[in-house]
Structure 1
């Protein structure tokens, strides 16, 4: 974590078979310092039970300690057509978070390219930032530069997530976009590092 501008750590997963429980993957709050620290939950469904929200809020309180937590990030692969419903979920979650915590979400590149203006506006209203994923598993997605040209439709601060060791040439327009906050590098386990592309 030392020296990083922002760190996103996967704390837990809410799995498809149980909307009542987030399965913790990190048992203790992280140590070290970063300018921004985000607690990440990977979600496979959006109909969370109250017990799952309670789990998340309790974990966020523990992680926040003396104010070191920036916010919560939700990692959910919504279809482009389902963004309005996802935005409603996020807006509701935002009301449950303490006022000093921000809300982030990972985003698919198809969203800014093909979602309706109304859907993107709803997402921007619910979130403090979005992290657009330019990879899948260990591979940089093809035509990422074409999809990322549509980030001009994102009326919200955003970062672009790239995979460690993957192919990447920075699209020129990003440097001049006032909403662009930089990159997030998805770090691979050692056994996967040789296969990134």
Structure 2
């Protein structure tokens, strides 16, 4: 009888824990479409698509723009963001020109380009340098186009809130990634309370089939703007 009571207590305790739900792409309306990932039917319901279009890297002191991702399609609905994986902030004039030419090419095909997204792993010690870089990029980006960046989950805990909030007025949104590679960060929930305190528009980046349990306070945050799902090949 004692063993039965113990089992009942343990089961009751388990039910009090928040359930970890799998990220179902069909429940969302914004997606990343990265290189080598095949388009999925769920894109038909997309309101926003972040499409990888290139990588900016440095080799032997030379900055290079490497085109990546899908060829220019003809998309007629939603918002299109051209995404760039960035490994160096030392851009040559030709890098800016390459991005401007891609924007023009996509617009010429009739695609509803909203802006560009920079995917750069800015660590805490790089934040001021990153902000300076983004100010210059914002200055060069034609006025109709928005500027989005990805953010690391630990920004909210390890970077001064005042420093992060300097991004307001420079970028139009930050998409904070809750995953590394193709896997959800196991302790992502530890970072969410301070993430909810950001004073710039932010979205939460999820990985398809990953784990996610949304606390009410996060989705009720004043600057929360939804989710973006990183699509994977099934």
Map 1:27-176; keep pairs closer than 5 Å: 28-65=71-108, 66=110, 68-176=112-220
Aligned twin of 1:21: 64
Question: Structure 2 unaligned runs (5+)?
Answer: 1-42
* Alpha-carbon distance in structure 1 between the residues aligned to 2:229 and 2:196: 22
Question: Residues 19 and 52 of structure 1 are in contact (CA less than 8 Å); yes or no, is this contact kept in structure 2?
Answer: no
Question: Residues 3 and 34 of structure 1 are in contact (CA less than 8 Å); yes or no, is this contact kept in structure 2?
Answer: no
* Alpha-carbon distance in structure 1 between the residues aligned to 2:157 and 2:197: 8
CA-to-aligned-CA distance 1:117-164 (integer Å, 9 cap, x gap): 332122223210000000001110022112021123321111101111
Q: Which has the higher contact order (CA 8 A, sep 6+)?
A: 2
CA-to-aligned-CA distance 1:171-192 (integer Å, 9 cap, x gap): 22122113111111101123xx
Aligned twin of 2:9: none
Q: What RMSD over aligned residues (CA atoms) do the two structures have, in Å?
A: 1.7
Q: TM-score, normalised by structure 2?
A: 0.76
**Greater Rg by CA:** 2
Residue 165 of structure 1: how far off its partner (Å): 0.3
2:113 aligned counterpart, secondary structure: coil
* Alpha-carbon distance in structure 2 between the residues aligned to 1:19 and 1:2: 40
Change (3 A) 1:19 1:179: farther
Residue 168 of structure 1: how far off its partner (Å): 1.2
CA-to-aligned-CA distance 1:65-118 (integer Å, 9 cap, x gap): 357101100000011121111011011001111110000000001112221133
* Alpha-carbon distance in structure 2 between the residues aligned to 1:67 and 1:166: 30
Q: Which runs of 4+ in 1 moved over 6 A?
A: none
* Alpha-carbon distance in structure 2 between the residues aligned to 1:31 and 1:84: 38
* Alpha-carbon distance in structure 2 between the residues aligned to 1:188 and 1:85: 32
Instruction: Tell me which moved more, 57-66 or 141-150.
Output: 57-66
Question: Residues 130 and 156 of structure 1 are in contact (CA less than 8 Å); yes or no, is this contact kept in structure 2?
Answer: yes
* Alpha-carbon distance in structure 1 between the residues aligned to 2:136 and 2:84: 16
